[in-house]
Structure 1
Amino acid sequence: MTETIHVDQFLAQPPAEVWRMLVEPGRLASWWAPGDIAPEVGHQFSLDMGAWGAQRCTVIEVEDGRLISYTFGEGNVDWTITWRLEPEGVGTRLFLAHAGFDLDDPRHADAYRNMARGWAGAVLPRLVKVMAGATATG
């Protein structure tokens, strides 16, 4: 059985600005991880996850300005990360789905628990903070 982490986050910026934070390498690095991402199906890139090493990724789906999905990791890991944006009032609701955790595998179960906490408690709040600072400084 596989499980998916689902997290959503409201951001006070319009979807176009949030999209840029997801698909422009310098902006992505400012709140999550350095990597040569591009919103093009088939594009292969790496994300530098620090102590966890470089994670190989391949873009598998793009709806410009609305959705990007890519594989994440290699070896016995079959994870997919999908970001979906929806306008909400004056801002954006950002939905994350991190899929492919085999909860029968103790390593995957541990990663699932840790990553669920990390996405909701650290990574997406960091995006909110970085975007608020970008708005405040122009």
Structure 2
Amino acid sequence: MPDDARATAISVDQFIPAPPARVWSSLTEPDLLARWWAPGDIRPVVGHRFHLLMPGRGPVPCEVLEVEPYERLVYTFNGTWTLTWSLVAEGKGTRLLLEHSGFDLDDPGDLSAFDRMGRGWRSTVLPRLAALAAQPA
């Protein structure tokens, strides 16, 4: 792939054996979010500014940009990145699609984060979300 065609977003597709309402709660309720990713004062309200307390980084500023309950949640992360969470009902579960965009691959810090975070989302973070959402209520 030519350098100029390299993706600048991380896309992850995770099936979760739980209905969209359970997945939505895991994304938008602070106590549940803290159990699979990071503590924070998230609320699914457009314009809500919040922080996620990331290990080794401290509080990361975020702002909610879009909310479609049980279907789509979009917020900024650290001022330059955007996390787009899309939920699609599939059988008895939910197809969760995450796009983590806004990387500046000319910036060494962003390039390093881009290279690390794809693996982290796929192999650690989203599987923890799936396990939490699939637990009996």
Give deviations 1:59-85, integer Å, cap 9, x for gaps: 0011111111001014xxx10011110
User: Which residue number corresponds to residue 114 of structure 1?
Assistant: 116
Query: What is the correspondence of 1:60-99 to structure 2 with a 5 Å cutoff?
Result: 60-74=65-79, 78-99=80-101
Matched letter for residue 115 of structure 1: M
* Aligned-residue identity in percent: 52
One-letter amino acid matched to 1:38: R
**TM-score, normalization by structure 2:** 0.92
Pairing partner for 2:43 from 24, 33, 38: 38
In 1: Cα distance, 2:41 partner to 2:60 partner: 11
Q: Following superposition, which runs of at least 4 residues in structure 1 exceed 4 angstroms of deviation?
A: none
CA–CA separation in structure 2 for the residues paired with 1:107 and 1:5: 15
Name the residue aligned to 1:22: 27
For the residue of structure 1 that corresponds to 2:24, the secondary structure is: helix
Equivalent residues, number: 132
Q: Match of 1:51, SS?
A: coil
Q: Which amino acid aligns with 1:51?
A: G
SS for the counterpart of 2:106 is coil
What do the CA deviations read for 1:16-35 (whole angstroms, capped 9, x no partner)?
11000000000111100100
Alignment-mate amino acid for residue 19 of structure 1: W
